[in-house]
Structures are given as structure tokens and as C-alpha cells.
Amino acid sequence: MSGTAPAVDYQAILDQIWLEVAPRLGEGKVASYIPQLATVPVAQFGMAVYRLDGQMFSIGAAQTRFSAQSVTKLFALALAYTRVGDSIWQRLGKEPSGTAFNSLVQLELERGIPRNPFINAGALVITDILASCFVGSEIALLQFIRQLCGSTAPDFDLKVAESELKTAHRNFAIAHLIKDFGNLHNTVSAVVRSYCRQCSITLSCEELARAAAFLANHGSMPACVPGGTQILDASSAKRISAVMLTCGTYDAAGEFAYRVGLPAKSGVGGGIVAVIPGEAAVAVWSPGLDASHNSALGTYALARLTDLTRHSIF
């Protein structure tokens, strides 16, 4: 067949998704194990699509900032990759865990080598790598995210960081276990404190979609971004996207790939960022979580997006 497929009308598709989602606002449960997140009103939804030509399409609360939580693990991994490359995989794996994101059992059985960089154990190792590369690793990560989204607005939510640190008993236990196996080089206290601050970074859907666009563009900032630069080589960007697909949505990665069909990273703040290779980055936020700790409406919206656009990797 000859000819070029017509461009997708993303705004019309997002408007259709909004009509479907609006009557369902309030579905899911907010993350209650972090006290500050438990106060977030559940009936909220935003979504943004950032095309590589610079066009932004959005609906709902797409400019409202939220606690990115585990979504920041994606950018921490990318920043670590810019510093140490494939040597990351000497200290952690790239396989789905099949267990809870904060499990200790698997970590002990596998002698302090986390299954992947997106469970808490793996994220703590990535934080440790960054702490060896930077003075104030969480500040370096925040600056990296600001660079990617082209805005100085993303920042730490210190109330969330404090709330998270006060309830970080399991993360301290995970870090101590990794340290006992010799896979943590900095102090447990420094790593966990930095990690809690990292997770408190706030982003809007529009900012998050812009920040992830370099992965959709094979490692380079979109050409439409003034002074756009190569963040990662294409091979490294491909590898990060692969780990997103297999490990990015907690222990529901298989179900998410089945329903949505895009590399994605979720967080318990209700955010999900996904990549349409060569086309766009997508961010969605709704704080009500499903049983797997992924945004209930966010997952639905992304599934509808790929159904309606026929843009998935499958």
C-alpha cells in the first residue's frame, strides 16, 4: 500500500478519553502508607501527549503537579546510565520481580542483587550509584529532570519527603540488607534520605511527558527543543525502554503490557509515563490506585489511547 498514514488527532482522542473517564473519577484508593499522600483528593485526572514535533495535547488536570514517587526511578536510571553505562548491570538485574515492589524476601535469596532498577531495592542501588557520582544526588536528579522538561518548576515536596522518611522502615531494612551483601557503597542513612527526597519530586503531566520525550526519540532531545542534545545513545535508550516494558509497572507489568502495549513507568502518587517510540511521550495522573499500586484510571486511559490510535509497540 502506498501513501502516508494520516496524522493522529490526539486532541480529539484525548477529549474522547475524558468523556469516558469523567464519570469514573474517584475510582481506586490513594496510597495510604505514606501519610502525606493519603491526604490527596482521589477524584482527579490529567493526561498529556507530547509529540516529538513539539505539539502538546492535554485534558483535565494536566498542569497540576503531583508527587512523582517511583516515576522518578526512570530518570534516576537514565542519569546513572549517563555516568556509568552498562556497568549498572553488574549490581542489579533486569528481570521482572513477580513480588511486591518493597519485598525483602527475593533480595535475600539473591544475595543483595535487586531484580531490576524499578523495585525499591534496585532504586536504592541506583541512588547509591548517583551518590558516588554527585554531591547531593537528589539535587543532581532534580536538575536533570528540569533539563529534560525545560522548566525549573519541578521541585521537592518537603512535606512528602518528611512523611516518607518517617515511615521508611522497610526501605531502611532493604538498604541494610543490600549493605550487608556489599552492594551499597555509601551509608544507609544517606542513601535512604536521598531516595525519599527523590520520590517527593513534583511534576505535572505536561512536564512529565516532555521529560520522557528523549526516550521516544531514541535517546535525543526532540529537534524542536532549542539546544536539544543527545542524552543517551540509541542502544541505551532502547535498553531502558525494554526494562520499562518488563518491569515498570510493579508486579502487573505483564497485564499492563497486555492492556496498553507501551513501555511505561508508574508511581504510587498516581502518575504513569509511557513512550510511543518515534512518535510521542504520554503522561497520565489520577491518584486512585488499583490492587497493583498503579493508577486505575491512568491505566484505563493509556489502554484506550493505544486502542484509539493503534499506536503501541505490538
- Return the residue matching grid coordinates 513539539: 54
Tell me whether residue 102 is annotated as binding: no
Please write the tens of the pLDDT for every residue from 215-269.
Answer: 999 999 987 776 568 999 999 999 999 999 999 998 899 999 999 999 999 999 9
Q: Is residue 195 marked as binding?
A: yes
Residue 281 sits in a domain whose CATH number is: 3.40.710.10
pLDDT tens series, the chain, 314 aa: 344 556 899 999 999 999 999 999 999 999 988 899 999 999 999 999 999 999 999 999 999 999 999 999 999 999 999 999 999 999 999 998 877 777 788 888 888 999 999 999 999 999 999 999 999 999 999 999 999 999 999 999 999 999 999 999 999 999 999 999 999 999 999 999 999 999 999 999 999 999 999 999 999 998 777 656 899 999 999 999 999 999 999 889 999 999 999 999 999 999 999 999 999 999 999 999 999 999 999 999 999 999 999 999 98
- Residue 15 lies inside a defined structural domain of this protein: yes
Say which residues have a Cβ less than 8 Å from residue 25's Cβ, sequence separation at least 6.
43, 44, 45, 286, 297
Using alpha carbons, list the distances in angstroms from residue 310 to 71, 100, 160, 217, 305. Answer: 25, 31, 38, 19, 8
Instruction: Report the distance separating Cα 218 and Cα 314, nearest Å.
Output: 18
Distance CA 55, CA 10 (A): 10
Contact 313, 278 (CB under 8 A): no
Q: Is 151 annotated as a binding residue?
A: no
Following CA atoms 84, 153, 200, 218 in sequence, which dihedral angle do they give, to the nearest 10 degrees? -40
Residue 112 — left, alpha, or beta (φ > 0 → left; ψ -120 to 50 → alpha)?
A: left
Are the CB atoms for 248 and 267 separated by under 8 Å? no
How far apart are the C-alpha atoms of 280 and 224, rounded to whole Å?
A: 13
| Structural domain contains residue 85 | yes
Task: Determine contact, residues 188/181, Cβ cutoff 8 Å.
Answer: no
Number of domains in the chain: 1
Q: Does residue 276 sit in helix, strand or coil? A: strand
Count CB-CB contacts under 10 A for residue 229.
9
Residue 3 lies in a domain: no
Does a structural domain hold residue 135? yes
Classify residue 124 by burial, with Cβ atoms within 10 Å: 0-12, 13-18, 19+: buried
Q: State yes or no: 105 annotated in a binding site.
A: no
pTM comes to: 0.94
- Residue 1 located in a structural domain: no
Domain presence at residue 226: yes
Is residue 4 included in any domain, yes or no? no
Please name every residue paired with 29 in a beta bridge, in sequence order, or none if there are none: 289
Q: Confirm whether residue 188 is marked as ligand binding.
A: no
| Structural domain range at position 24 | 10-309
Q: Could you tell me the three cell numbers for 173?
A: 531494612
pLDDT value at residue 2: 40
Which triple of cell numbers denotes residue 74? Answer: 526512570
Bridge partners (DSSP) listed for residue 201: 156
User: β-strand 201-203 against 155-156: which pairing, if any?
Assistant: antiparallel
Report the pLDDT value the prediction gives residue 100, as an integer from 0 to 100: 72
**Residue 159 falls within a domain, yes or no?**
yes
Dihedral sign for Cα atoms in the order 193, 196, 200, 206: positive
